[in-house]
C-alpha cells in the first residue's frame, strides 16, 4: 500500500466517522469567537465535550479525597471485623 493510498483511506475514515465534521465545527466556533480564548486547545476540548482544565483538576482532587476517605473506611472496617471476630471467639469459649 503506497503512502498516498494510506492517507486517502485515513481521510475517508475520518470523514465517514464524523471526526472531520466535528473538528470543523469546533474550529469554526473558535474562528467566530470575537474574544479569542487564551487557550485555543481548551476551547476546542470544551467544544468536543471534554472538561476544562480547571474542571479536570477539581475532579482529580475530588478523586484523591474520595480515595483517602475510602482507604480510611476500609481500615476501620477491617479493625471492626477483627474486633467482632475476637468477641465472637470469646463468647464461644466455654
Q: Quote the pTM value.
A: 0.54
If asked whether residues 5 and 23 sit together in one domain, one would say: yes
Contact 32, 54 (CB under 8 A): no
| Residues 18-22, mean pLDDT to the nearest whole number | 95
If asked whether residues 37 and 66 sit together in one domain, one would say: no
Contact 44, 27 (CB under 8 A): yes
Tracing cell 486547545 back to the chain, one arrives at: 41
Closest CA to 26 of 6, 1, 46, 50: 46
If asked whether residues 56 and 87 sit together in one domain, one would say: yes
What is the model's pLDDT at position 61? 97
Task: Give the containing element (helix H, strand E) for 56.
Answer: helix 53-92
pLDDT for 94 beyond 80: no
Which tens digit of pLDDT belongs to each residue from 21-80?
999 999 999 999 999 999 999 899 889 988 878 888 999 999 999 999 999 999 999 999
If asked whether residues 38 and 77 sit together in one domain, one would say: no
| Residues 15-20, mean pLDDT to the nearest whole number | 95
If asked whether residues 26 and 68 sit together in one domain, one would say: no
If asked whether residues 43 and 4 sit together in one domain, one would say: yes
Residue span of the structural domain in which 59 resides: 52-94
| Grid cell of 5 as nine digits | 493510498
Amino acid at each position: 500500500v503506497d503512502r498516498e493510498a494510506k492517507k486517502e483511506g485515513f481521510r475517508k475514515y475520518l470523514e465517514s466517522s464524523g471526526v472531520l465534521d466535528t473538528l470543523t465545527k469546533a474550529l469554526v466556533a473558535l474562528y467566530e469567537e470575537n474574544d479569542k480564548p487564551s487557550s485555543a486547545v481548551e476551547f476546542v476540548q470544551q467544544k468536543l465535550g471534554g472538561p476544562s482544565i480547571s474542571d479536570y483538576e477539581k475532579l482529580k482532587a475530588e478523586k484523591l479525597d474520595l480515595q483517602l476517605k475510602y482507604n480510611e473506611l476500609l481500615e476501620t472496617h477491617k479493625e471492626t471485623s477483627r474486633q467482632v471476630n475476637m468477641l465472637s471467639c470469646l463468647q464461644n469459649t466455654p
